[in-house]
Structure formats: C-alpha cells, structure tokens
Structure 1
Amino acid sequence: MKKYIILISLLALTVTQNACQQEFLNPSAASEQQVINSPDGLVTLVNGLQFRYTTTRAGAIYNAVAAGGLTTRELRVLNAGNTDELFLEQGLNSVQGSNAVVRNLWTSCQLTRASADIVLTNADRVITDAGLKSGVVAYASIFKALSLGTLAQFFQQAPVATGTNAPFVPREQLLREAIQQLETAATLVSSTPPSASFLTRIPAGIDIPNTIQALIARYALFAGDYDKAIAAAGRVNLTVRSSFSFDENARNPVFETAFGNVNVFAPTNTSFGLTGALQPDPSDRRLTFYFRTNPTATQNLGTGFYTSNSTAIPVYLPGEILLIRAEAFARKNDLTNAVTELNRVLTKTPAQDAWGVGAGLPAYAGANTANAILQEIYRNRQIELAFQGFRLEDSRRFGRSGPDTTPQANAERTRNFMPYPFTERDNNTNTPSTDPN
C-alpha cells in the first residue's frame, strides 16, 4: 500500500472533518480533479482508504483498541509516559478533547469517511466498466461504514458529511447511514460482482460480499434492529476469512505500537480484566490464543492478532457473527435460538474456526432467563472478540456499571463516550457545547 500514501495524504488535506483548513497542494502530485475524473485515480484513492483507516498510531484501529480497552479495564498502561493512554485508563475528566488517542480516532474515521464519499460521488460518473464500478463502490462503502460505525461506538454525536461547520447527528443516525450504504453496496454486488481486474488492484484480504453482510449485522445490532441483524448475520459464510492485510511498509498497528513491546499497554491480566461471574473458565482454549503463557520481561502478555508487523487483523470473526445472532434472539426473548447460537461459540474448537479462535467448552447450562443468557453472551463477546475495540460499546449496551457508579473503583468502564476533540471544537461551531461523560 506504500505507493498510495502520497495520494491519500494529498486528498486528505481538503477533506478534513470540517473542511475548515487551508489546502496545500504538492505541485509534483496529481491534483484532486485529475484523480476524481479518472477510473485509475478512483481505484488508487479507494486503495488509500485501507491505509488511512488501519495503519500507524494515528489510524482508527490502534486508537479504537486503545480507547475501548483502556476505558473498560481490558487493557492497562505499562509506561506512564504514554500520558494520553494513561488518561484514558483513568477515565472521567482525565480524558479531554486534547487527548491524542481521541483526536486520532476522530480524525482517522472522518478522513476515511470523507475520502470514501469522494469515491462514491464520482464512481458512477467516471467508471463505465460495470465490474470495476461495483468493486470500487463496494470497497468505498465498506470503509465509509467502518468509519461511521466506529465513530458511533465512541462518540455520542458526529458529522455525517463534509463541509464548513458540518452539523452533528446522533450516533443512531451514523449507524443507519452505515447500514444504508452497505445495503446499497450489497444490491450492486449481488447483481454485478466486482471484476477480477478490480480485485487484483486492491490489497488482498477483504472478502467484499461477506464483509458487507457482517458489517450490516454488526451495526444493526448496535442500532437495535434485531431482525435485520439476525438476517444479515445468517448470510455470512463463516468459513471465509476477511481481513486487513499488513506488511513492513504498512504494519499491524497494535503490534507495532503496543503488543510488540512492554512500553505502551498490555492486557490487564489473563482474565481479560473480567471479574466475578464474568471470569473465563480456566479450560477455555481461547486463553492460549490471546495470551502468552509465560511471557519474559521483554514480552507483552497479549498475542491474538497482534503477533508481528505483518499479522492480518480480521474485519470480523465468525464468533462475532454467531454472538450477534445470539444477542439479537435474546433481546427478542427468543431464548431457544439464543442458546443455540451461543452454544455454537462455546463448543467451537480452534480447528473448527476459520481463524483458530475456539473455546472448546461444554454447552450453556445456566438459567433459562434472558438476563442470564445475555450475561453469558456478554462474557463471551469479551473473550471471543478480545482487544478489538468493542468493549466500550458492549459495556454500554449491556448496561454494565459505568462512570456514575459509587464507588468508582467498582465501575467496569470509566467513561460512556469520548469527548469531542478540540481540533473539531475549535473549527466547527456546531460541535455540542458540552461533552458527554
């Protein structure tokens, strides 16, 4: 992806989160007009979306993992010199709009979303080859949805469009916009699959049809549309991998910054920071997937999908899809189907999972009540999807103890949402006047 860095950086200058910054053009690079009026330019731009969203300490993946894990006691800071991460671990008013993790999470998602919108606005006008157009639109739709969905996981409101003083909308609208974009892409892909000529020009890893359905299921669950979540999850082929790929030029951001050292953060403990009834069964085979058994003084405790600079990160896991169905059925009070889907996660062995994530445990034997089943689903989400940035969203959705808990030491999360970055507040008069806690 290295050859796309210059172009995506150039275009990013004109599509910041509120479009209030000046435009600085590189005279030796292609202009924005040249890019958006060429099929090859749009393919190049769509390639840059993955680099923008996934890589470096400034990308969405690292900052979602950090913000989601440090505010929910899933992760702990190893070196207090990493002050922005430390403030997230402390939570509450320690987290301000100046926090670099918060700012980078916001900016990466907004830049990725804005660049995807450029592609989506111009694809139909510029690209005449149907298979190429299908691939470009679907790929851009995936990254627009990921950006909007990630913003909705961490912020109570956010702009959904680019412009001077762009209006903020509730997170529910961000999720609906993401779902709508994905459904449009699904219709296009089903009638005209992306061409081989497109698929050979993008980084390997993302399976477009399955990823679209998986993301619809994810964001429909977050939005409370349980029927849609169940239906979309049921359309995902659980034997097919879909992932963000990395190499030495575009490195796995969590390994590069944190799990590859003992200087930034690590898992809180080998119980995923879970306590009481939520603690994992000692015989759960997912423990050896996500943790080193006997780390040395120079080895991070965490492993999982962060074991080298080139380790792929799943866009979704089969277990997530099963747990989406389990939770959606449980919230509809269809406890029989909820337990059926939950058991598919509990009894799955590593050999039966596309990514080698398997608990290998007995079937659920707890109380046949919605509350008990939902608690077991929550517990398994924290284990199956460890260190992937979902825990803050999950904690709110399942009504776990938050920042208003007294005493605060008993809270399972130290914030409900992130504050709005000062970079947005200083340039967008529509930024809400107060931050959520």
Structure 2
Amino acid sequence: MKKLILVTSLLALGACNKDYVNPSTTTQEQVVQSSDGLITLANGLQSRYTTGAFVSVLYNRVALGGLSSRELAVLNVGNIEEFNVSVGAGNVNNSNGVVRNLWTQSQLVKSNADLILKNAGNAPEPGTRSGIVAYASIFRALSLGTLAEFFEQAPLAVQENAPFVDRLVLLRDAVAQLEAAAAQLAAAPVSADFNSKIVPGIDLVNTTQALIARYSLEAGDYDKAIAAAGRVDLTKRSVFNFDDNTRNPLFETSFGNKNVFEPTNANLGLTGDLAPNPADRRLPFYIRSNPAATQNLGTGFYTANNAPIPVYLPGEMLLIRAEAYARKGELNSAITELNRVLTKTPATDVFGIGASLPAYSGPVTANAVLLEIYRNRLIELAFQGFRLSDSRRFNRPGPGTAGAERNRNFFPYPRVERENNSSTPADPII
C-alpha cells in the first residue's frame, strides 16, 4: 500500500523547485501538532469506517460476510458486484468493487490511525492523550481485524511496496496496540476535553477489551480472549452513531429498500442442525414477520438513517468465552457461558437481544457444544459480517465440498493494490 497523506496541500511548480502552500488549508504537519488537530483526525476515522454508503467498511464487511455464506441474498442481479460475491468462487475477481472498497477503506483507516498514534505525544494533557490513543487504536484494530477476516495476508507497514504479512500477524498486532491503549486509559482516564470534542457513542474502556477478546479468539489465544471478554461491562453500550447527514450505511444502501440484498429467508439462511428454534425471540429482532412488498425482510440495527450500530454486542462477549473454554476442553465452563446467551431475555440485554430459550441440554462433548455455540453466533450476531470467518474457524463445509456453507475461503487482492505494490502475493485459489 502506498503511503497515504491526509491533509497536505503542497504544490511544486516548474523549474523553480519551490513549494507553494494554499493559505486556506492546513498541512498534515500542522494538524498533528495539537490535541484539537489530532481529535479532528480521530473523528475522521469513524467517518471513513462507517459512512459513505457503498464505500464504507461497514457496508462492505456485511456484504462480503453475508453474501458469501448464504446469510444474505441479492435482490437485483443488476447489482453485479454483490451478485458475483453471492455466486462466489472465480466469479469474484480482483476488480470486484465490494472487495476493493473493503480493502482500500480499511487500509486508509489503518494508515490514518497510525499517523495519529505516531503523533499522539503532541497532546500535552494525559487524559486527552489517552483518549486519542484509545480511539485511534480501536479503529486501527477494526481495520486490521476486518482485513484478517477476509484476506489471507495484508500489509502492516505504511510504505512503498509494503510487504504482506500473515493474517495472524495482523490480529496479534491489533491486540498488542489495544493492550497498550487499555493500559494508558487505566493510568490516565479520558479527559472531559476529549469527550466534548469526539463523536459520541464509543465506550473506549469497554471497546478496547471487547476487541482484544474478538481478535484474540480469532488468533487462537483463548486465555487472553476469556480474560478480556470477562472485563467488558455488559450493561454498557458502545455504538457508531448516525444522523440524516451521516447515515447508517446498511439502512441507506440495502435494509431500507428492496434493491440490493436482504436476509436469505426468515431462518437467516440456516438449515438442519443450525436452524433456529421457532421460539427464539432473537428472530423477530432481526427479521420482519410480515414485511410489506416494499420492505426489506431484515431489520436489526438497520432500521433508519439515524439508527446506531453496535461496535460489539454483549452476546458476542459471552459466546467468545464459551467458544474459548470449549476449545480449551473446559466444557462445563463453556456451557455456563452458552446458557447465559440461551436464557438471556430481551429485557435484560442493553440492545434488546434475547433468545429466551431453555438452557443447553445436549451432549457434553466438544463437538456438540461447539456446534451449539456456532449456531448461536449465527443468530446472535446476524448481519454483522462475521459469518464467513466463523464458518472457516469452525471448520464448516467449504467451497467445492458437499453441503458447502460458504462460496469462498478468502478473497483476491484488489487490482489497485497489485498495480501499486509489487509485494502483493498470488491470489488465493478460492
């Protein structure tokens, strides 16, 4: 990935070899010298990650994760990029717009977060500095984690022809930066000045721990995942906020219409052992029971332009602990955490998501318990882009096999990267 410059406006003219600065603009060097400038850049991270409709990371991770795993179905084949993702295999090439947008926007957010972190020392007040570091670390982790969910490798450094590293390196690097941010928050709680200037909605303390848990689980560090998820206060909300100017990208593009995609069916595309219990009260949260002809079948967090989207869900933290315990062979502890999800009611969840089902009564074996955990991840975390990476991690039937539940394992690297970075590796076969 070529190095990205944020706010420079320098113009070199002719043989004079002089730089002329537009007096109405601010240079990158000036912006990063102050707390206010760094906070402004930090606000830009959320804007780039969440807004911009079809260009946003949020839209494209939901589209890629859902269309490649039968969670979502294309409504209009004229949306050719999304349609090709839904068909999968070789139909998704390195010119695909969904793949390209997810890659480029994630890289831009990560690059800009790196710039903020590099210059965070220019914020003199400790509480403001810790807020800046935590905020940038969260969006850096979200970007690296998203890349690791959909690609085998990606660059970590920001430089010409940056070398690619394995996805596990991306995850571990994200976790290490989050751990450093969490320590800084503990030493210097966020200042009122930072809180008054940053876009509201994200709980920094709990979100750093939630993302440590998410990406530690994905990287196979189960003890760290259990500990971090256990430190998250499940009574607190952490959300991306929107309004009529900065719109919820999933409502704006798809869930607010019948043009792009919607849930595959009222069972979230799940069949057989994975089919939801009809009494599961999470279904009416995510699915309309009697949609009008013009209404999308899906609801969830995509109901209006100003509907907030969670950064993580309490149920995700419980299921992280359940899965990590199960993979460590501690099945009784895994079932305890699983039951907290199964028996949770909408009234006791800060987002109103609750299955209200009986406790687990199946076999106390690793395979059976992990299958139930997987089934509950598919329901609890519907339409949030996790299904493809979950399918791989749980070793479900992959492309080309009987009963395939996903149509690709990883995606090809976008042409824009290949043409500008000679270190780009060969595309995965599927």
Q: Structure 2 CA distance, aligned partners of 1:419 and 1:386?
A: 25
In the alignment, structure 1 residue 255 sits paired with structure 2 residue 258: no
Aligned position for 2:142: 146
Aligned position for 2:131: 135
In the alignment, structure 1 residue 418 sits paired with structure 2 residue 423: no
In the alignment, structure 1 residue 64 sits paired with structure 2 residue 61: yes
Q: Deviations over 1:215-266 (max 9, x none)?
A: 0000000000000000000000000000000011110000000000000000
Aligned position for 1:428: 421
Aligned position for 1:36: 32
Q: Structure 1 CA distance, aligned partners of 2:139 and 2:211?
A: 10
Selected match of 2:387 from 379, 388, 391: 391
Aligned position for 2:321: 325
Selected match of 2:303 from 303, 307, 311: 307
Pairs within 5 Å for 1:227-266: 227-266=223-262
Aligned position for 2:279: 283
Q: Structure 2 CA distance, aligned partners of 1:265 and 1:9?
A: 35
Q: Structure 2 CA distance, aligned partners of 1:73 and 1:374?
A: 21
Q: State the 1:27 CA deviation.
A: 6.3
Q: State the 1:30 CA deviation.
A: 1.4
CA contact (8 A) 2:156 2:165 kept: yes
Gaps in structure 2 of 5+ consecutive residues: 11-19
CA contact (8 A) 1:11 1:115 kept: no
Q: Structure 2 CA distance, aligned partners of 1:158 and 1:421?
A: 11
Selected match of 2:359 from 355, 359, 363: 363
CA contact (8 A) 1:10 1:26 kept: no
Q: Deviations over 1:92-145 (max 9, x none)?
A: 000011000000000111000000000000111x11111110110110000001
Selected match of 2:49 from 44, 49, 53: 53
Aligned position for 1:17: none
Aligned position for 1:95: 92
Q: Deviations over 1:358-411 (max 9, x none)?
A: 0000000111100000000000000000000000110000001111314xxx21
Q: State the 1:13 CA deviation.
A: 10
TM-score, length of structure 2 as denominator length: 0.95
Q: Structure 2 CA distance, aligned partners of 1:25 and 1:372?
A: 65
Gaps in structure 1 of 5+ consecutive residues: 1-7, 15-23
Cα separation, partners in 2 of 1:80 and 1:25, compared to 1, 3 Å: farther
Q: Structure 2 CA distance, aligned partners of 1:55 and 1:144?
A: 16
Q: Deviations over 1:137-181 (max 9, x none)?
A: 110000001100110000000001211000000000000000000
| Stretches of 4+ aligned residues off by more than 3 angstroms | 8-14, 24-28
Pairs within 5 Å for 1:178-197: 178-197=174-193
Q: Structure 1 CA distance, aligned partners of 2:106 and 2:427?
A: 21
Q: Structure 2 CA distance, aligned partners of 1:93 and 1:294?
A: 36
CA contact (8 A) 1:318 1:353 kept: yes
Q: SS where residue 158 of structure 1 aligns?
A: strand
Q: Structure 2 CA distance, aligned partners of 1:60 and 1:270?
A: 26
Q: State the 1:37 CA deviation.
A: 1.8
Q: Structure 2 CA distance, aligned partners of 1:320 and 1:384?
A: 7
Q: Structure 2 CA distance, aligned partners of 1:114 and 1:12?
A: 15
Q: State the 1:435 CA deviation.
A: 2.8
Aligned position for 1:214: 210
Letter of the 1:295 partner, please give it.
P
How many residue pairs align between the two structures? 417
Q: Structure 1 CA distance, aligned partners of 2:388 and 2:7?
A: 32
Cα separation, partners in 2 of 1:43 and 1:416, compared to 1, 3 Å: same
Aligned position for 2:378: 382
Q: Structure 1 CA distance, aligned partners of 2:356 and 2:111?
A: 43
Aligned position for 2:16: none
Q: SS where residue 200 of structure 1 aligns?
A: helix
Q: Deviations over 1:181-209 (max 9, x none)?
A: 00000000001011011011111110000
Q: State the 1:29 CA deviation.
A: 2.5
Q: State the 1:9 CA deviation.
A: 9.4
Pairs within 5 Å for 1:150-161: 150-161=146-157
Q: Structure 2 CA distance, aligned partners of 1:179 and 1:434?
A: 26
CA contact (8 A) 1:71 1:91 kept: yes
Letter of the 2:186 partner, please give it.
S
Q: Structure 2 CA distance, aligned partners of 1:49 and 1:362?
A: 42
Q: Structure 1 CA distance, aligned partners of 2:35 and 2:178?
A: 22
Q: Structure 1 CA distance, aligned partners of 2:322 and 2:21?
A: 50
Aligned position for 1:117: 114
Aligned position for 1:168: 164
Q: Structure 2 CA distance, aligned partners of 1:280 and 1:204?
A: 35
Q: Structure 2 CA distance, aligned partners of 1:429 and 1:364?
A: 52
CA contact (8 A) 1:289 1:357 kept: yes
Q: Deviations over 1:275-294 (max 9, x none)?
A: 10100000000010001110
Q: Structure 1 CA distance, aligned partners of 2:149 and 2:267?
A: 23
Q: Deviations over 1:331-354 (max 9, x none)?
A: 001000000000000000000101
Q: State the 1:38 CA deviation.
A: 2.3
**Percent identity of equivalent pairs:** 63
Letter of the 2:263 partner, please give it.
P
Q: Structure 2 CA distance, aligned partners of 1:303 and 1:58?
A: 21
